[in-house]
Structure 1
């Protein structure tokens, strides 16, 4: 099985009337604090960590009037990263459709009937997704992602320990 191609950092990908790019984004202190809390990093270790950068994928209308971002810890980030990374025309067309749906979903409020129909469709979709058994392959993928998350958490804790050691060496 070949290596999965992913998007290049900084390169702009044109998808219909949207431009998509992968960037590293410096997080605000409050975002870092929340992320560290969600990762269950011990409080004593959190204080030693410096501000961080995380990969994001940004989808933006060519006009600049609309944009949406996804952090590297989301399924949507990985979906876009892989589908655009392989450059398949079919995948690009699929993403264009998805981006148009997101654009419409986030910019059209509609009336009560429209909102109710969306809620019914979402409830139906969630029922179908929950009803599907998970294949062994998908189960392995989920477990691999969980292991990767744990490895990232351990790496952050290790970076904090290393940073603490460097600060102690610089004080003398």
Structure 2
């Protein structure tokens, strides 16, 4: 039963939680943040030019990029933080009890480290990948997962439009 639950809740490529389980965890943290009168930062991260990685280097290399970002996320954040592969090349991070400014600082440091990681593509070609992100904070930017997601997604698209490779907050 434990194996089946793990298969249902954890993305086998990144070893991060899947979206469904993460929504439950984020809702639990929202309730806790409300009771404790504290914050919950919600971030969406999206790999930049990921289709180009798959098209140029193949899906196996693209999978390695996704796995590596999952590894970096687990190494960077606390066990109680919510780390999930939301879908495709999109990841969500939920950070309980920290300010938006600190969340942006930590995510920007992760971006700098990850974007320096060298990946080996076809014909032994080394390349780098960055990501863009949007960060919002409960309760100022939204009272539920859907509203926080919408706000963070708008910021993500603003980061992409402004040249990618950056984290924006409200």
Normalised by the length of structure 2, the TM-score is 0.25
Higher Rg of the two aligned structures: 1
Q: Which has the higher contact order (CA 8 A, sep 6+)?
A: 2
More helix by share: 1
